[in-house]
Homo-oligomer: A and B are copies of this chain.
Amino acid sequence: MAHGSRKKVSNIEIHQLAGKIASSSRSFDIVEACFLEIAAPSIPQGIASCIEQNVAEVIIMPYFLAAGRHVIEDIPTIVDKESFKYPDISIKSLPYFGSSPVIVDILRTLAENNT
Protein backbone atom coordinates (compact mmCIF):
# COMPACT_ATOMS: atom_id res chain seq x y z
CA MET A 1 0.00 0.00 0.00
CA ALA A 2 1.55 3.20 -1.24
CA HIS A 3 0.59 6.86 -0.96
CA GLY A 4 -0.64 7.42 -4.51
CA SER A 5 0.58 10.11 -6.91
CA ARG A 6 -0.88 12.49 -9.45
CA LYS A 7 1.77 11.13 -11.83
CA LYS A 8 0.35 8.00 -13.47
CA VAL A 9 3.83 6.60 -14.05
CA SER A 10 4.46 6.63 -10.31
CA ASN A 11 1.32 4.57 -9.58
CA ILE A 12 2.17 2.16 -12.39
CA GLU A 13 5.56 1.69 -10.73
CA ILE A 14 3.79 0.53 -7.55
CA HIS A 15 1.61 -1.91 -9.49
CA GLN A 16 4.73 -3.28 -11.19
CA LEU A 17 6.44 -3.68 -7.82
CA ALA A 18 3.44 -5.67 -6.53
CA GLY A 19 3.64 -7.81 -9.68
CA LYS A 20 7.33 -8.53 -9.11
CA ILE A 21 6.70 -9.49 -5.48
CA ALA A 22 3.83 -11.74 -6.59
CA SER A 23 5.96 -13.55 -9.14
CA SER A 24 8.89 -14.06 -6.76
CA SER A 25 6.95 -15.12 -3.66
CA ARG A 26 5.86 -18.58 -2.60
CA SER A 27 4.29 -17.31 0.62
CA PHE A 28 1.44 -15.20 -0.71
CA ASP A 29 -1.41 -16.31 -2.97
CA ILE A 30 -2.25 -12.79 -4.06
CA VAL A 31 -0.15 -9.63 -4.10
CA GLU A 32 -1.94 -6.43 -5.12
CA ALA A 33 -1.16 -2.73 -4.96
CA CYS A 34 -3.49 -0.21 -3.35
CA PHE A 35 -3.22 3.46 -2.46
CA LEU A 36 -3.98 5.69 0.50
CA GLU A 37 -5.20 8.52 -1.71
CA ILE A 38 -5.30 10.03 -5.22
CA ALA A 39 -4.86 6.70 -7.08
CA ALA A 40 -7.00 3.57 -7.37
CA PRO A 41 -7.60 1.03 -5.98
CA SER A 42 -8.03 2.54 -2.51
CA ILE A 43 -7.17 0.56 0.64
CA PRO A 44 -10.82 -0.55 1.11
CA GLN A 45 -10.97 -1.56 -2.58
CA GLY A 46 -7.68 -3.47 -2.30
CA ILE A 47 -8.87 -5.35 0.78
CA ALA A 48 -12.25 -6.09 -0.87
CA SER A 49 -10.47 -7.41 -3.96
CA CYS A 50 -8.44 -9.89 -1.89
CA ILE A 51 -11.50 -11.00 0.07
CA GLU A 52 -13.49 -11.53 -3.15
CA GLN A 53 -10.68 -13.90 -4.15
CA ASN A 54 -11.41 -15.95 -1.05
CA VAL A 55 -8.47 -15.23 1.21
CA ALA A 56 -8.61 -15.92 4.95
CA GLU A 57 -5.98 -13.31 5.78
CA VAL A 58 -5.02 -9.92 4.38
CA ILE A 59 -1.58 -8.49 5.14
CA ILE A 60 -0.96 -4.83 4.41
CA MET A 61 2.58 -3.54 3.91
CA PRO A 62 2.59 0.28 4.20
CA TYR A 63 5.14 1.35 1.59
CA PHE A 64 6.04 4.56 3.40
CA LEU A 65 9.44 5.79 4.54
CA ALA A 66 8.74 7.84 7.64
CA ALA A 67 6.19 7.96 10.41
CA GLY A 68 4.25 11.02 9.29
CA ARG A 69 0.53 11.65 9.72
CA HIS A 70 -0.40 9.03 7.13
CA VAL A 71 1.45 6.22 8.91
CA ILE A 72 0.52 7.26 12.45
CA GLU A 73 -3.11 8.27 11.97
CA ASP A 74 -4.68 7.77 8.55
CA ILE A 75 -3.66 4.19 7.76
CA PRO A 76 -4.55 2.67 11.17
CA THR A 77 -7.94 4.43 11.04
CA ILE A 78 -8.75 2.97 7.62
CA VAL A 79 -7.45 -0.51 8.46
CA ASP A 80 -9.41 -0.59 11.74
CA LYS A 81 -12.58 0.37 9.90
CA GLU A 82 -12.07 -2.36 7.29
CA SER A 83 -11.28 -4.97 9.96
CA PHE A 84 -14.59 -4.16 11.61
CA LYS A 85 -16.35 -4.63 8.26
CA TYR A 86 -14.98 -8.18 7.82
CA PRO A 87 -15.05 -9.88 11.23
CA ASP A 88 -14.22 -13.32 9.77
CA ILE A 89 -11.05 -12.21 7.97
CA SER A 90 -7.73 -11.43 9.65
CA ILE A 91 -6.62 -8.01 8.37
CA LYS A 92 -3.17 -7.08 9.61
CA SER A 93 -1.03 -4.04 8.88
CA LEU A 94 2.74 -4.56 9.10
CA PRO A 95 5.21 -1.93 10.37
CA TYR A 96 5.79 0.66 7.66
CA PHE A 97 8.67 -0.04 5.27
CA GLY A 98 10.95 2.77 6.52
CA SER A 99 10.90 1.40 10.08
CA SER A 100 12.88 -1.65 9.00
CA PRO A 101 16.42 -1.74 10.40
CA VAL A 102 17.73 -3.03 7.04
CA ILE A 103 17.24 0.44 5.51
CA VAL A 104 20.52 1.78 6.95
CA ASP A 105 22.60 -0.89 5.23
CA ILE A 106 20.72 -0.60 1.96
CA LEU A 107 21.08 3.18 1.75
CA ARG A 108 24.76 3.04 2.62
CA THR A 109 25.40 0.28 0.07
CA LEU A 110 23.46 2.09 -2.66
CA ALA A 111 25.36 5.30 -2.01
CA GLU A 112 28.72 3.52 -1.97
CA ASN A 113 28.01 1.55 -5.16
CA ASN A 114 26.84 4.60 -7.07
CA THR A 115 29.78 6.83 -6.38
Contact = CB atoms under 8 A, between A and B. Distances in A.
Give the number of times this chain occurs in the complex, counting copies.
Answer: 2
A40 B5 CA distance: 24
Contacts of A14: 66
A3 to B, nearest CB: 8
Nearest to A115: B59
B59 A13 contact: no
A96 B22 CA distance: 23
Interface residues of A, number: 46
Nearest to A67: B10
Interface in A46-69: 57, 59, 61, 63-69
Nearest to A98: B13
Interface string A7-31: 1011101100100110011011000
A59 B111 contact: yes
